[in-house]
Amino acid sequence: MNQQQLFSVELTYEKGKPQVLDEPGRTGNYLGSGVGTLKGERVTGSVQWDLFEKVEETICESNLRGLIETNDRAIIQFDTLGFFRRPSQPEDHIWVNVSAVTFHTDDTRYAWLNEVTGSWQGTFDMAS
């Protein structure tokens, strides 16, 4: 299996932002939406996202999905399904996330993403 980093993403929660995609999530309840930036060798742009979670004691099932708008105006939909792990120390506010991610676009310049199943790994800072 050939794994390569497609891009890095930084997301920010925006209180009161309306849901980006008008459909229910794959798991859990809607928690909120936000924006972000995406930077990679082949894909760079902005992100709008929705988060759904099914909260349990130490693990939260998550569905993060939304839209990428590339700097050259292509629209790419993404959909993740995975988990957030709650920190073991109550004072720790950094949660760890891992998810599978799929993409869909009708833009021929990025159609190669329709065949990609990626992994999304990162952290979530509950304090900010």
Predicted local distance difference test score (pLDDT) of residue 1? 59
Q: Which two tokens stand for residue 100?
A: 């599978």
Give the single-character DSSP code of 17. Answer: P
Phi-psi region of 127 (alpha: psi -120 to 50; beta: other; left: phi over 0): alpha
Predicted local distance difference test score (pLDDT) of residue 72? 98
Predicted local distance difference test score (pLDDT) of residue 60? 92
Residues comprising the chain, all counted? 128
Cα separation, 100 vs 80, whole angstroms: 5
Predicted local distance difference test score (pLDDT) of residue 126? 76
pLDDT in tens, the chain (128 residues): 567 899 999 999 999 999 999 988 999 999 999 999 999 999 999 999 999 999 888 899 999 999 999 999 999 999 999 999 888 776 778 889 999 999 999 999 999 999 999 999 998 887 77
Cα separation, 44 vs 6, whole angstroms: 10
pTM (predicted TM-score) = 0.91
Predicted local distance difference test score (pLDDT) of residue 102? 97
